[in-house]
Amino acid sequence: MRAFLLFLLLLALLALVCSRGWRPPDRYDPWAPLDLRAPPDLFLHYKLGRLGADPRACRATLAQAGARFEPLPDRRGPGACGWTDAVRLRGTGEALLAHPAVVTCPLAASLVLLDRQVLQPAARELYGGPVARIDHVGGYACRNLYGRAAAPLSHHARAAAIDLTGFALADGRRLRIADDWNGQGRAAAFLHRVHNRACEVVGMVLGPDYNLEHHSHFHVEATGWGYCR
């Protein structure tokens, strides 16, 4: 009985506080708008998931972070391929993409976070300078998994995945996953750190240790709750 009365008292206190306009800081509020410039919080993946249901808010979030992008009209076909709420992403606000990529807006937001929270800190710590360019082999591609006729449709066919192949530093050095992943120097340390920390800010990352098909790239998706292999 005492526990129930205490529970009612706490509810009444919470209702009183909220009625006077108080709200928790954004990092403790799962319903607060996502700020891609802020450090990740406990509700990051939930907030990223909400962006998929609100295209206007997603594009505003990208713009606030300084990302370079162009909204695209929805596309249907061929077949089950196409995209909804996609952008042509040119830069994250920190680094440029080697060439524009068609990705869903939530995936673009995830790439902004990956660059700001993982790539740039790792590059500055290990190399003393920033990442200037993100190399990739495309986002949208109308194909099945691994290009096999009998396989399910790839997430690339919905612009919901992108394959990153390496990174160029501001001093001109290039770090390539195909060449440097299995090395012993700073390049390998950088790539492994990026892979290991990526799922703090994106939904899924599959790298060279996942299977042979990923030996040359990081497969990145926005959806999921932090799965790195």
pTM for the model stands at: 0.86
196 alpha-carbon distance from chain centroid: 14
10 alpha-carbon distance from chain centroid: 38
User: For 188-228, how does the pLDDT look when each residue is reduced to its tens digit (9 = 90+)?
Assistant: 999 999 999 998 899 999 999 998 889 999 999 998 777 78
Q: Please report the sign of the dihedral spanned by the C-alpha atoms of residue 23, residue 29, residue 35, residue 39.
A: positive
Alpha carbon separation from 61 to 20, 66, 167, 178, 209 (Å, rounded): 28, 9, 24, 33, 33
CB 108 within 8 Å of CB 90: no
44 alpha-carbon distance from chain centroid: 11
**All structural domains of the chain with their residue ranges:** 26-228
What is the chain's mean pLDDT, rounded?
88
User: For 73-130, how does the pLDDT look when each residue is reduced to its tens digit (9 = 90+)?
Assistant: 999 988 899 999 999 999 999 999 999 999 999 999 999 999 999 999 999 999 999 9
CB 23 within 8 Å of CB 33: no
In angstroms, the first-to-last Cα distance of the chain is: 49
